Amino acid sequence: MERPSLVKVTRKGEVTIPRAIRDRLGIREGDYLVATAIRDLVVLKRISLPSWEELFTYGERFAEEKGITREDILKAIKSVRRGT
């Protein structure tokens, strides 16, 4: 188990995750973390956001399963843009 590290909270509420922890967990600049409070603990968990390709693949699969056509989507977009 790693020795605890003391970190300081900045005026903006920011903290620096110690390099040893970042290296061990593979946390890199630009990564996203989810912060959760559990009692008196702050827990950070690294998450991976899907790529555009993964999002489009999911969307296509979802539309196919629900019987949504490209025309349905374009019609809905036009409706939203018009505010109707």
Kindly report the number of other CB atoms within 10 A of residue 11's CB atom: 5
Segment 65-83, tens digit of pLDDT? 999 999 999 999 999 999 8
| Burial state string for 12-46 with b = 16 or more CB within 10 A and e = fewer than 16 | eeeeeeeeeeeeeeebeeeeeeeeeeeeeeeeeee
Q: What is the pLDDT of residue 18?
A: 94
Average pLDDT over residues 43-58: 92
* Complete domains list, the chain, with CATH: 1-48 (2.10.260.10), 52-82 (no CATH)
Average pLDDT, the chain: 92
Largest CA distance in the chain: 59
